[in-house]
Amino acid sequence: MTKWSTLLLAALLDSPALYHAFVLHDLDYTTALVRYLIAVVVAALMLAMLNGLANGYQRGNDALARTEAREVAQQAAMDALEVARNNPALMAQVQGRRSTDVVPPEETPAEEKAE
């Protein structure tokens, strides 16, 4: 299926022949339409090459964006882990206790900080 951009570019490329055939009537309609069909093929090739060039740059940018997003996600996870380790209530939830339970003496955060 042909894209609209291909047909419009072909019409732009073939506009002098179409003008002479349909406005000035000094060119045969068949000749103008054959030139238009040739222009459609040329326009499709031109747009395919342009698309290929653009995709090459897009692939490089996508890989860079994925790498940067991965690094940001890893840093956010490390920050969240550090916050969780410094919060006794969150650590109690992770260990299966309620935050109102008495913390056994060997797990007291004050003693850990003293060491």
Average model confidence (pLDDT) for the chain?
A: 83
Percent of the chain's residues with pLDDT above 90 = 43
Which structure tokens are listed for 88?
């006794």
- First CA to last CA distance, the chain: 73
Q: 89 or 36, which is more confident?
A: 36
Note the pLDDT tens digit of each residue in 49-83: 999 888 877 777 777 888 888 999 999 988 888 88
Mean local confidence (pLDDT), 9-37 = 96
- Model-level pTM? 0.52
CA–CA distance, 26 with 102 (Å, rounded to integer):
99
